[in-house]
Structure 1
């Protein structure tokens, strides 16, 4: 009998769960658990032993958040989280990193995360790079997806750069066949977008030519979310199959 798939996700802010992939994970009969970093007491240091043992996780999904990976002074658990990610990556187990999650994986492996020249918020096109190596994760040559970031990652050493757009060159990368990381938000749903937009403090820090107004985003039609949601499900299937 095949053992039950154990999925664990790291959540950094209250309104940003794993969104669209929940139904897909349930279709795989996955057991889903979470570490909610936003709920940790601010006056109590996080012990790495309080996180799941790496042997207890078959798939790690690292979600987004408004903090910077470099802000360990204000979010001391970031240092412990990155230590745990390095430990997990060393086991060659599957990982999906979304926005801050992709930045955390890159930073845990020594790559820089820094301010992006332009902020992105809203529906923007992303395109596959030419000459992606054969056997890499396959996805459409161009697609539209939700962006919501002020910082971006450098591509970690040894990773394959998969996608870019005119605003932010580093949009997607993979490591081996078991790690896929996105700068954008393929998991976003209509309900999740409403929660994003309800965070007035976060919305107020975004400006510039690649930032769509809230009035536009509030009118996002249901079909806008399909491409990204399908891409995420395909990414999960890829890392699970290739690392099995």
Structure 2
């Protein structure tokens, strides 16, 4: 592994930050930079030159967001972000997409992103897909993670389906050995969850039997966060070990 790992992340909403993997990457002596799309005026497009050179990123992590990947009219930078992603992924470089990030990778590669039959918000149990090919990213048989989404991705062509639950079948996928897309939020920490829960406008759009109350989520025990955080650390190791020397 390089002595100075260059990690770049795409951030779509203010305050979300890098979640649990920040300290893990700092232990690797990583140089961490970000593109903050949320800071752009909504009527402003983005030039490719404003993003890093695709060859100057050792690991890309794409965070979540409240917008849809299909809402290019209101967020014109989505087109540029997807175009950059296609260039980056064409080089076989490592990437991890979290919630909206997983949807963005899938959509950039031609897969549909659409409304899920039910919204998911809160702690849920996910199970790994049976008969995943040998050498793919290893998951526990069942694990508990934080969900916060209304839409979901189709599995991109050529990708391997890794995880599911009864509410949203497509929870995680893998492309080659260098890309992992998550529908859920393995990066969530107590501080990040509290920031999410402060967004009353966002909470107001969620309803249904798979939506947990803000009051119950505020009382989430610290051990609830650990399993997802560990899976994300393992995902970082996996994509880096396959691609970075």
TM-score in terms of structure 1 length: 0.98
What corresponds to 1:110 in structure 2? 110
1:74 maps to 2:102: no
Determine the C-alpha separation between the residues in 2 that align with 1:175 and 1:33: 24
Q: CA deviation at 1:180?
A: 0.5
What corresponds to 2:178 in structure 1? 178
Q: C-alpha root-mean-square deviation of aligned residues, in Å?
A: 0.9
What corresponds to 2:221 in structure 1? 221
What corresponds to 2:187 in structure 1? 187
Listed one character per residue, the Cα deviations across residues 185-241 of structure 1 (whole Å, up to 9, x for unaligned) are 000000000000000000000000000011110100111000000000000000000
What corresponds to 1:15 in structure 2? 15
Q: CA deviation at 1:3?
A: 3.9
What corresponds to 1:31 in structure 2? 31
Q: CA deviation at 1:243?
A: 1.2
Determine the C-alpha separation between the residues in 2 that align with 1:222 and 1:196: 16
What corresponds to 2:236 in structure 1? 236
Extract unaligned runs of 5+ from structure 2. Answer: none
Q: What pairs with 1:5-154 in structure 2 (closer than 5 Å)?
A: 5-154=5-154
TM-score in terms of structure 2 length: 0.98
Q: CA deviation at 1:51?
A: 0.4
User: Structure 1 residues 39 and 53 mapped into 2: Cα distance closer, same or farther (>3 Å)?
Assistant: same
SS at match of 1:126: strand
Determine the C-alpha separation between the residues in 2 that align with 1:94 and 1:2: 14
Corresponding pairs, count = 244
Is 2:42–2:74's contact at 8 Å kept on the other side of the alignment? no
Q: CA deviation at 1:44?
A: 3.0
SS at match of 2:74: coil
Determine the C-alpha separation between the residues in 2 that align with 1:190 and 1:111: 32
Q: CA deviation at 1:42?
A: 3.0
Q: CA deviation at 1:16?
A: 1.4
Determine the C-alpha separation between the residues in 1 that align with 2:15 and 2:167: 26
Listed one character per residue, the Cα deviations across residues 55-108 of structure 1 (whole Å, up to 9, x for unaligned) are 110000000000000000000000000000000000100000000000000000
Extract unaligned runs of 5+ from structure 1. Answer: none
Determine the C-alpha separation between the residues in 2 that align with 1:209 and 1:43: 36
Listed one character per residue, the Cα deviations across residues 110-141 of structure 1 (whole Å, up to 9, x for unaligned) are 00000000000000000001001100001111
SS at match of 2:231: helix
Determine the C-alpha separation between the residues in 2 that align with 1:93 and 1:189: 27
Determine the C-alpha separation between the residues in 1 that align with 2:172 and 2:17: 20
Q: CA deviation at 1:31?
A: 0.1
